[in-house]
Amino acid sequence: MTKAYANLIDGEMITTSETIEVVNPANEQVIGVVPSCTKDELDRAVDAARSAFKSWKKTSADERQKVVQGIAAAIKDNAEELYRLLTSEQGKPHAQAQQEIYGAAGLAAAQSTLTLDDVINQDDDTRLSRTRRVPVGVVGGIVPWNFPIMMAIQKIVPALVAGCTIVLKPSPFTPLTTLRIAELIKDVVPAGTVNIITGPDELGPMITEHPGIDKITFTGSTATGKKIMEGASRDLKRITLELGGNDASIVLPDADVEKVAEQLFWSSFSNAGQVCIAAKRIYIHEDIYDDLSKAIAEYAKGVVVGDGSQQGTGVGPIQNKKQFERVCELIQDAKDNGYQFLTGGDTDPSGTGYYVPITILDNPPEDARIVAEEQFGPVMPLMKFSTVEEAIERANNSEYGLAGAVWTKDTEKGVEIAEQLETGTVWVNEFMQLSPFTPFGGHKQSGIGAEYGLDGLKEFTNPQVITVKRDAAV
């Protein structure tokens, strides 16, 4: 049944006459409609956020913590309803949707405890100088479709903790669970502090260029990130950009083939490969290439691709038609170029649901599109290397610099390699591990600034230095 969802503006759930349909990618059925906001609703949301900011910025850390913990509780207490809804709009299997919902609640609870203490710069007979962090103001949050809830929470929570208010825009492809959370937190957050509005992509630039917004925090593609930077430059809004990645994993010859095969598989195919920090290129030392590539392909054959709401599904559909077509195009390009497939490769663009079979390529060349571009789908190229120096050079040969991983029994060597990778995060012998207290951000064209931890929180503030001259002749 198609349900109509509402937006949260100034503590009220509102609807609009124009709506946007939201489709379940597993069967292409419309499962909900959401408001299609125009400049009018955006203005109302920004006015509400500006007005709420006046009092919210003066609240104590304890008060803010309590509100944020209320958000965490609302999500946790309704987790089952939320993860089922998330699967129906995003496509990810229930277990992964559950992880996202509980992960978002956990992130909110953990980050509610963060505080930015004043720093004393000088304290002597001549002067007292102190740096405090003041909230930047009204934040515009723009979120993608791959982790709609995690990304929404990692924008709403630090904004509130820092003393800011926010106007958040989910992706038009995945707004339902976010709007259900909006309903759940309507009476948890003071009116106007959190506003959640939906609309087409065109609503994005209106937010970026809105004079009543002081900062943009964005997660999405590098192409959109560049437009946001341009739009935000008009009035020098602060920006945090979490963008695309083409993360490389490097597997050294001492790695245990059986043990790493499964981990490497999920480092690439979790959420059907639609993870900014998924391993998108895997470089395997030539001594173990044949054994390991065979083991990964063998493991892949046991993973079920299907509707995420069905038990046993390991990899769901691609989230939307446009992305589905792009992934199919990349696979076709690999076929046209005669690259070898270890498994998968047979797509059916005319079938119902945006399903792509798990596809693994056998040592395609470095300039293949599937290696050079961010695929964002269940397609992984495995490549052979001879020397560590060569692997590092190939891993760094990208405009992106989000994350990477090294797999080896020799952890000292692993760290030595990690330090040479040009990315914001590098894991040794694990993948996709993020902590609410540790900064996460991209190098090169993978982003600007950081989220998470005190570094992330600082991005919602401006430093203010107050000095008092102690020996002044006044």
Q: Which of residues 200-239 bind ligand NAD (CB under 6 A)?
A: 201, 204-205, 208, 219-221, 224, 227-228
Q: Which is nearer to ligand NAD, 163 or 439 (CB)?
A: 439
**What's the longest Cα–Cα distance across the chain?**
82
Q: Which of 25, 137, 163, 245 binds ligand NAD (CB under 6 A)?
A: 245
Separation CA 379–CA 63 (nearest Å):
46
Residue 353 engages ligand NAD in binding (rule: CB under 6 A): no
User: One of 37, 164, 276, 328 is an active-site residue; which one?
Assistant: 276
Q: Which of 56, 289, 355, 376 binds ligand NAD (CB under 6 A)?
A: 376
For 286, the token pair is 């030539």
Candidates 164-172, 252-260, 327-335, 466-474: pick the segment binding ligand NAD (CB under 6 A): 164-172
Where helices occur in 375-464 by DSSP H, the ranges are 388-396, 411-418, 453-458
Give me the residue label for tokens 């124009």.
18
**What are the DSSP E strand ranges found in 56-183?**
119-123, 127-135, 138-142, 165-169
Q: Which of 16, 171, 293, 398 binds ligand NAD (CB under 6 A)?
A: 171
Q: Which of residues 63-102 bind ligand NAD (CB under 6 A)?
A: none
Q: Give the binding-site size for ligand NAD (rule: CB under 6 A).
A: 29
- Answer yes or no: are the C-beta atoms of 404 and 421 closer than 8 Å: yes
**Which among 236, 284, 226 has a CA at the least distance from the CA of 406?**
284
Residue 57 engages ligand NAD in binding (rule: CB under 6 A): no
Shortest CB 220 distance to ligand NAD, Å:
3
Percent helix, strand, coil in the chain (nearest 5)?
40, 25, 35
Reduced to 3 states, what is the DSSP secondary structure of residue 356?
Answer: coil
What are residue 374's phi and psi, to 5 degrees? -75, 115
Q: Which of 34, 37, 109, 143 binds ligand NAD (CB under 6 A)?
A: 143
Separation CA 274–CA 323 (nearest Å):
10
- Answer yes or no: are the C-beta atoms of 433 and 448 closer than 8 Å: no
Where helices occur in 209-256 by DSSP H, the ranges are 222-233
Cα 216–chain centre separation:
15
Reduced to 3 states, what is the DSSP secondary structure of residue 19?
Answer: strand
Give me the residue label for tokens 């009204």.
138
Q: Which of residues 287-346 bind ligand NAD (CB under 6 A)?
A: none
DSSP 243: -
Q: Which of 137, 163, 172, 345 binds ligand NAD (CB under 6 A)?
A: 172
Residue number of the CB closest to ligand NAD reads 204
Q: Which is nearer to ligand NAD, 180 or 285 (CB)?
A: 180
Candidates 53-61, 197-205, 328-336, 389-397: pick the segment binding ligand NAD (CB under 6 A): 197-205
Q: Which is nearer to ligand NAD, 252 or 421 (CB)?
A: 421
Residue 243 engages ligand NAD in binding (rule: CB under 6 A): yes
Shortest CB 288 distance to ligand NAD, Å:
29
Q: How many helices (H) and strands (E) does the chain have?
A: 15, 25
Active site residue 242: yes
Q: Which of residues 250-289 bind ligand NAD (CB under 6 A)?
A: 276
Q: Which is nearer to ligand NAD, 109 or 151 (CB)?
A: 151
For 162, the token pair is 């820092």
Shortest CB 146 distance to ligand NAD, Å:
5
Positions marked catalytic = 242, 276
Contacts with ligand NAD by CB under 6 A lie at 142-147, 169, 171-172, 201, 204-205, 208, 219-221, 224, 227-228, 242-245, 276, 374, 376, 402, 442, 447
